[in-house]
Amino acid sequence: MESQYETELDLELPQAMLERTTSAAEWNLILPVVIALMAGALLAMVRHSRGSQVGFSVLAVLAIIVVEVDLFFQVLETGPVAMTMGNWLPPFGISFIADTMSVSFALAASFVTLIVLIYFQAEIVPREVRHGFYPLVLLLLAGVTGAFLTGDLFNLYVWFEVMLIASFGLLIIGGRKMQLDAAIKYGFLNFLATTFFLVGLGYMYGLTGTLNMADIALVVGHADPAPMTAVAALFLLAFGMKAAAFPVNAWLPASYHTPDAAVSALFGGLLTKVGVYALLRIMIALMPASRELFDPLLTGIAVLTLILAPMGAIAQTNLRRAIGFFVIGGIGAVFAGMAVANVLGIAGAVFYAFHSMLTMTAFYLVAGLVERVTQATDTRQMGGVYAADSLISILFIILVVAAAGLPPFLGFWPKMLIVEATISQSDWILMSAVLINSLLTSIAGSRLWAHIFWRPGREGANSEVPNDHLRQLNSTEKRMALSAVCVLVGVIVMLGLLPNLLFNAANFAAMDLLSPQNYITSTGLELGSNLMGGTQ
Amino acid sequence: MSEMLMAPFIGVFFATAVYLILSKSVIRMLLGITILGNGVNLLIFIMGRVTRDIPPIVPAGLKQPIGDIANPLPQALILTAIVIGFALFTFLLVLGYRAYQELDADNTDNMRLAEPPNPPQPPLSY
């Protein structure tokens, strides 16, 4: 009896399995997540010994960066790389798939994590280290990288939750009252967003019988379009909430300014971008028909987010809350690219999200330095920093210009792509919204700059009286925090001056998203056929 | 057939959850979130059919089982979702309790430390 089954299985298996050994390059795909998870677990075990943690976590992140750089150039050369667990063909095996977009986002994420880890040395609080700052950062990075690299919707949900629980920990790690208040709002709204994602995912499985992204892209055309639209709407709501797009952005300005500046920077760089990534992947590559239906909605969200976010920044007096509104404004630009959805628009959206990861992290870090110098969080109590520390003021104005998207800095190129895309579709409303966003962002940013750096004293003070609450950065702050920020801003300026590599990468990413054939075949699936016949 | 019986239940779960989440009290919101999570888990559960007539085994030589089986994958998915949901619920519960101790408030209207009511006017200079 047994032997009979064995022969039957031998006949069946080749159809369900990839019959080749996994190459070393494919192992690269899973390594970043493995390293981050293992390092996080190890750090949690040794969290009482302070000395070893910094070095170990920096080494782990450096290892992740090395692997991802290797992966990046490989993907640019050969197109998407996939690894399916256990070599079971989708939909049976869970895939990890790296295309240009996912691997460049993952690279940016680990790079800003490295910068933040070094910056944190200047504002280190022993209690926070004991409570597990380093393991939480590594687990956050694991969640974010996993979300970027996975090729399975349910796996994406799991990475979202890994990221969410790590971010909860980081958000409340100082234990200040304000942080508890912020964590309640952040926690409830983000948990709600992932629950909506789970609903959509359940319907998706019911309708298509698969959760593998490559497989979904193959069979989505056969599914009933009406319920698929409902699924797409659920995904749009869930990831729109994660990305903090306009009507569902309330959690971001309520929470991002409450933890330490290093944590704000990590959040500003990583969290909303995962929502953006998921939207781009699902709306553009997996469900293009539903995206077309939602086109007016996406345009509306983009216009409102683009215009209202910088207005929020103008109305704020708290420095880091104002920067939170800049983060939201960037999400509007990505939505604008998504609403146009030709190669130019998608390339612009991908490029903008990449730029936003670097720029927003740097912005929060510089804000942290300003708070250290002025010993205040409210711009009304700041002033005269230009005289105290002119380097910080130069860094700040560079970032304002980069965020507003003025040449020659990094933010200009993706905005140019997006504007070009809107012109090619004669979508004048969207085009003016993108340009007005640049104008308003530069107004908000230069007002902040003028109040913090240019004005000699605090608000209401006699203009001749210099601000006497300022202090100089001490040597640790200069050595660690300032130099880390300088490196990050240096990278932003360099990439802005030499954007060719990024232009090419964004183009590749856009083409892979708009016609996902390479993405699908990389997993071993064949176009035009699928194992399960599209039913459950 | 039991899917038809379950569907209205899930509707009731969702309606109760929405009602509770819309309230101002943190503890009610927590209950709402839990009920919503259970509603979603039930929803995924019936996505894979609820039946025990046909065993979910693929006969030899075929790619799919014959007839409508209860798909075991959604059942595995909700196991994961239950565990994750429970972990997050526990965290939010402790957080809510800590906030109640520290901020002396169970009412979200009184939790305005991060976003103070009557915020200062934006500066008029420059």
- What is the chain B residue with the closest CA to A176? B102
**Closest Cα of chain A to B5: distance in Å?**
17
CA dist list (Å): B29 to A405, B40, B98, B101: 40, 16, 15, 17
Q: For residues A37, A41, A44 and A46, what is the CA-based torsion angle, rounded to 10 degrees?
A: -120
What dihedral angle (degrees, nearest 10) is formed by the CA atoms of A523, A528, A531, A536? 110
Domain that holds residue B104: 2-56+70-110
* CB-count burial class (<10 Å; 0-12, 13-18, 19+) for A288: middle
In a domain, A399, yes or no: yes
Alpha-carbon dihedral sign for residues A481, A484, A488, A490: positive
pTM flag (> 0.90): yes
Classify residue B6: in a domain, yes or no: yes
| Average pLDDT value for residue range A271-299 | 93
Q: Tell me if B60 and A8 make a contact (CB, 8 A cut-off).
A: yes
Burial of residue A196, with CB atoms counted within 10 A of its CB: 0-12 exposed, 13-18 middle, 19 or more buried: buried
pLDDT averaged over chain A? 88
User: Which pLDDT value is given to residue A9?
Assistant: 43
Q: The domain that contains B15 carries what CATH number?
A: 1.10.287
Count up the domains in chain A and report the number.
1
Range of the domain at A446: 297-498
Q: So what's the pLDDT on residue A462?
A: 62
Give the mean pLDDT of A47-58: 85
User: CA-nearest residue of chain A to B28?
Assistant: A188
Residue B40: inside a domain: yes
Considering only alpha carbons, which residue of chain B is nearest residue A204? B47
pLDDT at A534: 41
From the list B21, B63, B113, the residue facing A181 with the nearest CB is B113
Please indicate, yes or no, if residue A378 is contained in any of the structural domains: yes
Nearest to A202 among B43, B99, B119 (CB): B43
Contact between B95 and A183 using a beta-carbon 8 Å cutoff? yes
Give the chain B residue whose CA is nearest to the CA of A4: B60
Question: Are A182 and B63 an interchain contact pair (Cβ–Cβ within 8 Å)?
Answer: no
pLDDT of amino acid B63: 65
Of B29, B84, B103, the CB nearest to A180: B103
The answer to whether A336 and A422 have CB atoms below 8 angstroms apart is yes
User: How close is the nearest chain B Cα to the Cα of A536, in Å?
Assistant: 8
Which residues in chain B are contacts of A450 at CB distance < 8 A?
Answer: 125-126
A258: in domain: no
Q: What is the mean pLDDT of residues B7-25?
A: 94
> Which residue from A67, A59, A193, A66 is spatially nearest to A138, judged by alpha carbons?
A59
Q: Give me B109's structure tokens.
A: 């209207």
Phi first, then psi: give them for residue A62, nearest 5 degrees: -60, -40
Domain for residue A2, yes or no?
no
Are B81 and A198 a contacting pair at CB < 8 A? yes
Closest chain A residue by Cα to residue B43: A202
Q: Specify the 3-state DSSP secondary structure of A427.
A: coil
Q: Is the peptide bond before A91 cis (omega within 30 degrees of 0)?
A: yes
State the Cα–Cα distance between residues A138 and A124, nearest whole angstrom. 16
Q: What is the pLDDT of residue A522?
A: 85
DSSP codes of every residue in B51-69: --SS-S-PPTT-SS-SS--
Burial B62-100 (b: 16+ CB within 10 A, else e): eeeeeeebbbebbeebbeebeebbeebbebbeebbebbe
Q: Does position A526 have pLDDT exceeding 80, yes or no?
A: no
Q: How many domains does chain B contain in total?
A: 1
C-alpha separations of A274 from A162, A247, A286, A370 in Å: 12, 18, 17, 28
Q: Quick check: is B119 in a domain?
A: no
CB neighbour list of residue A44: distance below 8 Å, 6 or more residues apart? A132, A135
Q: Could you tell me if the ipTM is greater than 0.90? A: yes
Model pLDDT, residue A7: 41
Which helix (H) or strand (E) element contains residue A81?
strand A81-84
Strand partners, B25: B107
* CA distance linking residue A323 with residue A316, whole number of Å: 9
Give pLDDT tens digits for A238-270. 999 999 998 899 999 999 999 999 999 999 999
A223 in a domain, yes or no?
no
Q: What is residue B14's predicted lDDT score, i.e. its pLDDT? A: 95
The residue among A494, A403, A505, A491 whose CA lies nearest residue A445 is: A403
pLDDT given for residue B48 in this prediction: 82
Which chain A residue lies closest to B47 (C-alpha atoms)? A206
Per-residue DSSP letters for A241-291? HHHT-GGG-THHHHHTTSS-HHHHHHHHHHHHHHHHHHHIIIIIII-HHHH
Among residues of chain A, what percentage have pLDDT more than 90? 64
Please answer yes or no on whether B40 and A199 come within 8 Å at the CB atom. Answer: yes
Give the pLDDT mean for A74-96: 85
Which residues in A lie closer than 8 A to residue B113 (C-beta atoms)? Answer: 177-178, 181
A505 residue type, one letter: A
Percent of residues in chain B assigned helix, strand, coil, to nearest 5? 60, 0, 35
Mean pLDDT of B29-48: 92
In a domain, B13, yes or no: yes
Q: Name the residue facing A165 among B40, B88, B115 (closest C-beta).
A: B88
pLDDT tens digits, B77-89 = 999 999 999 999 9
* Cβ contacts of B108 on chain A, cutoff 8 Å: 184-185
The predicted structure's pLDDT at residue A139: 96
User: From the centroid of its chain, how far is CA A236?
Assistant: 16
Question: For residue A244, is it within any domain?
Answer: no
More confident residue, A525 or A430: A430
Look at residue B117 and tell me if it is in a domain: no
Residue A330 within a domain: yes
Q: At A82, which helix (H) or strand (E)?
A: strand A81-84
Count CA within 13 A, CB hemisphere, residue A455: 25
Quick one: pLDDT at residue A487?
95
Look at residue A23 in the predicted model and tell me its pLDDT.
74
> Does any domain span residue B63?
no
- Dump pLDDT digits (tens) for A400-442: 999 999 888 899 999 999 999 999 999 999 999 999 999 999 9
Chain A CB contacts of B20 under 8 Å are none
